[in-house]
Amino acid sequence: MSRNARTKLFTLQAYLQQDGNILLECESVSPSDFESVMNKGMPEYEGTYSVASLLKYLIDTGNEVLEKSKRFI
């Protein structure tokens, strides 16, 4: 992997649509899929568990944001 290579693991985005409505989108790599791919493809990488744990946290937090945002939109 080159030093500048990046892979998107998680996004939470808010869009203002033309009709004035707000659209919220949350996308994420599955933590278990991430662990599986990394363990098979890069077993020497020591941060796999930490990244998978971060993904779980981001997903939980993103879901909470989406749920609580319903009060506003």
State the Cα–Cα distance between residues 56 and 9, nearest whole angstrom.
Answer: 11
Give domain status of residue 6, yes or no: no
**Residue in this structure with the two tokens 């749920």, named with its chain if needed:** 67
State the Cα–Cα distance between residues 15 and 37, nearest whole angstrom.
Answer: 31
**Number of domains the chain contains:** 1
Q: Where residue 37 falls among pLDDT bands split at 50, 70, 90? A: very high
Give domain status of residue 45, yes or no: yes
pLDDT, tens digit, 9 for 90 and up, residues 19-34: 999 999 999 999 999 9
| Collapsed DSSP state (helix, strand, coil) of residue 54 | helix
Instruction: Determine the angle formed by the axes of helices 31-41 and 48-69, rounding to 10 degrees.
Output: 160
Give domain status of residue 53, yes or no: yes
Give domain status of residue 35, yes or no: yes
Q: Which domain holds residue 38?
A: 30-73
pLDDT, tens digit, 9 for 90 and up, residues 46-61: 999 999 999 999 999 9
Q: Where residue 1 falls among pLDDT bands split at 50, 70, 90? A: low
Give domain status of residue 36, yes or no: yes
pTM: 0.86
